[in-house]
Amino acid sequence: MKFSPRGCQKFLSYLVGWISVLGWQTGLASITFIAGTLIQGLIVLNNPDYIFQRWHGTLLVIAIVAFAVVFNTVLAKRLPMIESVVLILHLLGFFGVLIPLWVLSPRNSTKTVFTQFENLGGWPTQGLSFMVGLLTSVYGLLGADSAVHMSEEIRDASIVLPRATMWSILVNGAFGWVMVITFAL
């Protein structure tokens, strides 16, 4: 069997394309799954009589996907207004959670917060417990590249897009850091 450089290049481009498609599909599936799990967890938290069923989670995932499809097709023209409202809710929600926690929650010592690590998930090692716990926080940083896909619609995209992405990461990272310290204290 003889391989040509052109054939090898074509094969690699197909491989990269299929891996990208699979990556997007699994990424979106995991995001909707986590959202459904969070909703189901809130139901369990607020309704002690609720019996946790796996198929309920599947229905929640389907509902989230259906909502996303309807939102992105029917409400596409209203997206700038909706994004502005979500930004305001994001900021108000941040302070609406943060301030009561600062005022009403009990405090830990600084030494306890920064030197004591607990494995409350029952994982066999601290390292594995850390990596599993890190997964949820990493999801908040995914999707920053989604703005790149709309770059042809932006004036001076080579300047505006990196600035917007970095400001988004800096502001949300700072908010996240303050919230993590608040939860730990």
Instruction: Give mean pLDDT, residues 86-108.
Output: 90
Rounded distance between C-alpha atoms, residue 34 and residue 136, angstroms: 8
**Of residues 111 and 147, more confidently modeled:** 111
- Per-residue confidence (pLDDT) for residue 92, from 0 to 100: 93
Is the separation of the CB atoms in 64 and 32 below 8 Å?
Answer: yes
pLDDT above 90 as % of the chain: 11
Where along the chain do its domains lie? 1-74
77: tokens are: 């023209």
The pLDDT score that the predictor gives to residue 175 is: 87
pLDDT, tens only, 136-180? 777 666 666 666 666 777 788 788 888 888 888 888 888 888 888
Task: pLDDT band for 64, please (50, 70, 90 cuts).
Answer: very high
pLDDT of 1 above 60: no
Mean pLDDT, range 16-44, rounded to an integer? 84
Give mean pLDDT, residues 35-63.
88
Whole-angstrom CA distances from 16 to 13, 82, 143, 150 are 5, 35, 19, 21
At residue 141, the pLDDT reads 64
CA separation, residue 98 to residues 90, 93, 102, 176, 181 (Å): 12, 8, 6, 11, 11
pLDDT at position 165 is 81
Distance of alpha carbon 151 from alpha carbon 50, whole angstroms: 45
pLDDT surpasses 80 at 54: yes
pLDDT of 34 over the 60 cut: yes
What does the mean pLDDT of the chain come to? Answer: 83
State the pTM of this model: 0.57
Q: How far apart are CA 39 and CA 69, in angstroms?
A: 19
Indicate the angle between helix axes 126-139 and 5-46, nearest 10 degrees: 90
**Coil/strand/helix, residue 51:** coil
**Cα distance between residue 183 and residue 107, in whole Å:** 10
